[in-house]
Amino acid sequence: MNVAQPNKWQRHRAARAMAHYASDAAELAEFLEMAGLTAEEGKFVPEEEPEPEQRVPDDRGEEPKVAPEELRRLANVLLASYGR
């Protein structure tokens, strides 16, 4: 079964949505980890979403593991971009 992977724009929107609903940095870090996202994906807006016929599956391979302290720090950066 071939499942399409979300593109950079979709990952950005998902990380931003999680930041909106998280009550604090620890909760956001947990949400992001569960979804396999990073705080950087929510902070920086990627280039415009490609047209459907130009989409290429995101074949990044394994994500490097991030230390919990670093994940919390990055989650704080993302929350700060929301003014929290």
- pLDDT tens profile 16-44: 889 888 999 999 999 999 989 988 888 88
pLDDT for the residue numbered 12: 87
What residues does each domain of the chain span?
7-43+66-84
Backbone angles phi, psi at 82, to 5 degrees: -95, 0
59 vs 69 pLDDT, higher one: 69
Angle at 49 between CA 77 and CA 66, to 5 degrees: 35
Can you give the pLDDT at residue 32?
Answer: 92
For the chain, the farthest-separated pair of C-alpha atoms sits apart, in whole angstroms, at 42
